[in-house]
Structure 1
Amino acid sequence: MLELYQFELSHYSEKARLLLDYKGLAYRKIEITPGIGQVDLFRLTGQRQVPVLKDGNRYISDSTGIAKYLDLEYPDRPLIPKDSKQRGLCLMMEEWADESIGIKSRKALFSAISQDQNFRKSLLPTSTPDVFKTLVQGVPNDLLKVLGVGVGYTPDVVSSAITDLKQDLEALTLILADSPYLVGDQPTLADFAVAGLSILLKFPDGPYLDLPVSLRGKGVPELADNPLYEPFFTWRDRLYSQYRTPLLPTTTTGSAPTSIQID
């Protein structure tokens, strides 16, 4: 069986999960512990960042690399169009999503969790012990803001990211106004990139992530609750309902991640 080394709340990991679900491929999610787990992952695969897909003895890193590998080795339900123009648009839009929504959504989410202690606590996976949830909730907002400045998330940087994301969501809403998908009449890598990377802006309504039910449909203020972008998130959630496998403990695909020590 395929194995996906991941972080549950990594939007790039979510992009890879969407691709695997769309292809109808069974896989096991393996949660990597930040820090020591990434060292073990590097020792095993030469990569510290997730997602990494294991297929037999092969390790494929990066969500874009995973998409191209899946189309090559599992050609049913292709992700990248054959038509040259559609292929170019698909790859260009996927790259844009990685570099714009992918990077800026982290900054927008940081703004939300630095302002709301309950939201910060709820973001932890449901399997997190209560004592750790309480500890995280108790971190002062001012301390989080200082830590944010230390990693480059100054108030100006965060504000600029939110402004840019508003333009991104407006553009996507306009493109999808009279089209079921971003490129052509079938879902492509572009759709799954945009949909998966947007989870940090607003979590899907369904049971797709290991998060409390209370967080479904919740997200970054000014973005998740803005009626101007509601058509985009409605489209995103419809894509999820059609192609994303719900998180069910009794299944192997879409199930809760397994935390292991990498051998």
Structure 2
Amino acid sequence: MLELYQFELSHYSEKVRFILDYKGLAYRKIEVTPGIGQIDLYRLSGQRQVPVLKDGSEIIADSTAIADYLERQYPDKPVIPTDPKLRGLTLLIEQWADESIGLNARKVMIDALNHSQSFRTAFLPSSVPDVVKTLIGAVPNELLTVLGQGVGLGSDTIKSATEAVKRDLASLCFLLYDQPYLVTDHPTLADFAVAGLSMYLKFPDGNYLEVPQALKGKGVPGIADIGTFEPFFSWRDRLYADYRKPLLGSPGSSGSPNTINID
């Protein structure tokens, strides 16, 4: 069986999970423990970042490389068109999603965690005592803002990232105005990249991810909760309903991730 080494909350891993589900490929999710698990991942793949796909003796790192491998090795239900122009457009949109939506969504999500107590506490598992949630929620926003500046997420960086995300979402709303998918009449890598990498902007409302229940359907205030971008998120939710498999919940299935186990 295919093995996907991942973080459950990695939006680049979500991009790959979309493709695996669309192609109907059975796979096992293996959750990499930050820190020590990434050292083991480096021994396996030569790098510390997720996602990494293991297919027998084949080890493929990076979501784009994984998509290309799956397309070559498992050609049923292709996600990359063969027509040169459509293929080029698909790959261009994927790269744009990786480098613009993916990177900027992470920044605005971190900023939202700094400034929204309700969003911050929604990330905590239900098992966390209410008193701890209250303490975490009560951490002054100003303190978290200062800490953000210390890791390169100052106000100018956040402003630029927020403006870029809003431009990207507006552009996607225009592209999807009178067509069901971004490139062709069926989903492609472009659609799955955009859908997966927008996860931090608004988490899907459904049983697709191992996240706290309070986080499902929630997202970055000022982006996820305004009507301007509702056409995009409605489109993305349809992709989830049509092509992402809900969690099965049984150990070893594609639903519940195992801890890292490198041979």
Q: Settle same-fold status: TM greater than 0.5.
A: yes
Q: Residue in 1 aligned with 2:23? A: 23
TM-score, scaled to structure 2: 0.93
SS of the residue corresponding to residue 178 of structure 1 reads coil
Give distance in 2, aligned partners of 1:19 and 1:198: 15
Aligned length: 262
1:169-210 per-residue CA deviation (whole Å, 9 max, x = no partner) reads: 000001001000000111000000000000100111111111
Q: Residue in 2 aligned with 1:242? A: 242
Bigger Cα displacement from structure 2, 48-57 vs 203-212: 203-212
Give distance in 1, aligned partners of 2:225 and 2:20: 29
1:106 and 2:106 correspond: yes
CA shift, 1:150, in A, is 1.8
Residue type at the aligned position of 1:199: M
Matches of residues 64-143 of structure 1 in structure 2 within 5 Å?
64-124=64-124, 130=129, 134=133, 137=137, 139-143=139-143
CA shift, 1:110, in A, is 0.8
Residue type at the aligned position of 2:98: D
Would you say the 8 A contact 2:251–2:258 is kept in 1?
A: no
Indicate the RMSD between aligned Cα atoms, in angstroms.
1.9
Give distance in 2, aligned partners of 1:58 and 1:138: 47
Bigger Cα displacement from structure 2, 204-213 vs 92-101: 204-213
Equivalent pairs: percent with the same residue?
Answer: 61
SS of the residue corresponding to residue 79 of structure 1 reads coil
Structure 2, unpaired ranges of 5+:
none
Would you say the 8 A contact 1:121–1:133 is kept in 2?
A: no
Would you say the 8 A contact 2:252–2:258 is kept in 1?
A: no
Residues 137/6 of structure 1: CA separation in 2 closer, same or farther (3 Å cut): farther
SS of the residue corresponding to residue 235 of structure 2 reads helix
Residues 152/262 of structure 1: CA separation in 2 closer, same or farther (3 Å cut): same
Would you say the 8 A contact 1:11–1:197 is kept in 2?
A: yes
Give distance in 2, aligned partners of 1:155 and 1:262: 41
Residues 233/253 of structure 1: CA separation in 2 closer, same or farther (3 Å cut): farther
Would you say the 8 A contact 1:245–1:253 is kept in 2?
A: no
Residues 17/47 of structure 1: CA separation in 2 closer, same or farther (3 Å cut): same
